Amino acid sequence: MNLTRKQFDVLQIMASNPKALTQRDLEKQTGHSLGTINRVMKELTEAGFVVDGAITHAGLNALEPYRVKRAIFVAAGFGTRLVPITFNTPKPLVRVHGIRIIDRLIDACLQAGIDEIYIVRGYLGELFDQLLYKYPMIKFLENPIYNEANNISSALVTRYMLSNAYVFEADLLISNPTIIKKYHYSSNFLGIKKQRTDDWCVRVKDGTIVEEKVGGEGNDIWQLIGISYWNTADGQRLSQDIQDVFQSPGGRERYWEQVPLVYKKEHYQVEIRECFAEDIIEIDTFNELKAVDKTYDV
C-alpha cells in the first residue's frame, strides 16, 4: 500500500530510532498533534507496520519505495571565485580545517545508508581519484564540456540516474549531517527561511516552490541550498526535460535546477525542506574561506 504523508512521517522517524518511541516523542519529532499521532499509530498497527510502538519488517518494507537509492555530486566546475586555491585543486577537494569539503557530504550520505555515489567531474578531474582510497564505492562520471556550458551539462551526464536520488552541489560545507535523510516522501530542495536575501532564492506557497529568482524579501522567501531529492516519477521526467532545455536556444547557459523550477516547472511540485544557517554553508569566495578557516589567512 502507498503510505499517506502522515503515516510516512511517523514510520520514517521510527525507522531512524533503534528504541521504541512514545506517542509524545512522535508528536514532538513530527510536529503532528497527539490526536493525529494516535490515529496514525492505529492505522499502522492494523496494517502490521508497527507492533508495541516499534516498526516491523513490514513497516520497513513499506518505506522502501521512499528510500534514497543514490547520491550524485555535481563537481565539474572551476570554482573561479575561490582563486587562487582552485588553480591546483578542484573546489570540492579544498580542505577546511584539514578535511576536504566533499568528504563531509559523502560521510553524511554513508551515515544515512546511501552508498551508491556518483561524482560528475571535469576540471582537474583526475585529482578526484584520491577519494577512492577512502571511498572505494565512488563511481566517476565525466563531463567533457564543463568549460563550455553551465552545470546543466553535468545534469545531462546523469539524467538517467535521477530517480530516488539526491543531487548535491559538491562545494557545500556541511556541519549537521542529519539533514541528509534515508527516506523522502516527495521531491524537495533544502532551503533557509529568509526575510530578505540578494542571493538565489525561491518563493514558497503552502510548502511548495512556486518561483525561483535572484533576490527577494517577505514571509515566503527561502534561500536555496544546493541539495535536492527527486522521487521516481520526477527523476524520470527530468531525464527528458534536462535534455530538452539543454538543446533549446541558450540552454547551455542554464543552471540545472532551472529545469524543474523555471523552464519546465509545470511538470513538477517541488517542496522546500527547512534547514538552518548553522547546518550548512556555501563557501563562494576566498575571503569566505579565510573567514571559516584562519589557516588560509596568511
| pLDDT tens digits along 194-244 | 999 888 899 999 999 999 999 888 899 999 999 999 999 999 999 999 999
DSSP state, residue 92: G
**CB-based contacts of 172: which residues, under 8 Å, 6+ apart?**
101, 105, 225, 226, 227, 280, 281, 282
Tell me the C-alpha distance between 32 and 26, whole Å.
8
Share of the chain above pLDDT 70, in %: 100
Cβ atoms of 87 and 93 closer than 8 Å: no
Query: In the prediction, which pLDDT does 120 show?
Result: 97
C-alpha cell at 167: 543531487
How many helices and strands (H and E) does the chain possess?
9, 13
| Mean pLDDT computed over 97-113 | 96
- The whole model's pTM is what? 0.93
Assess whether the previous peptide bond of 84 is cis (omega < 30° from 0).
Answer: yes
Among 82-96, 182-196, 243-257, the range scoring the smallest mean pLDDT is 82-96
pLDDT in tens, 248-284: 999 999 999 999 999 999 999 999 999 999 999 888 8
State which H helix or E strand residue 54 sits in: strand 54-55
Q: What is the DSSP string of 144-172?
A: TTTTTS-THHHHHHTGGG-TTEEEEETTE
Can you give the pLDDT at residue 1? 66
Q: Are 15 and 55 in contact (CB under 8 A)?
A: yes
Whole-number pLDDT of residue 94: 92
Asked if the model's pLDDT at residue 20 lies above 90, the reply is no
CB 92, CB 75: distance < 8 Å: yes
Task: Evaluate if residue 82 carries a pLDDT over 90.
Answer: no
Average pLDDT, the chain: 93
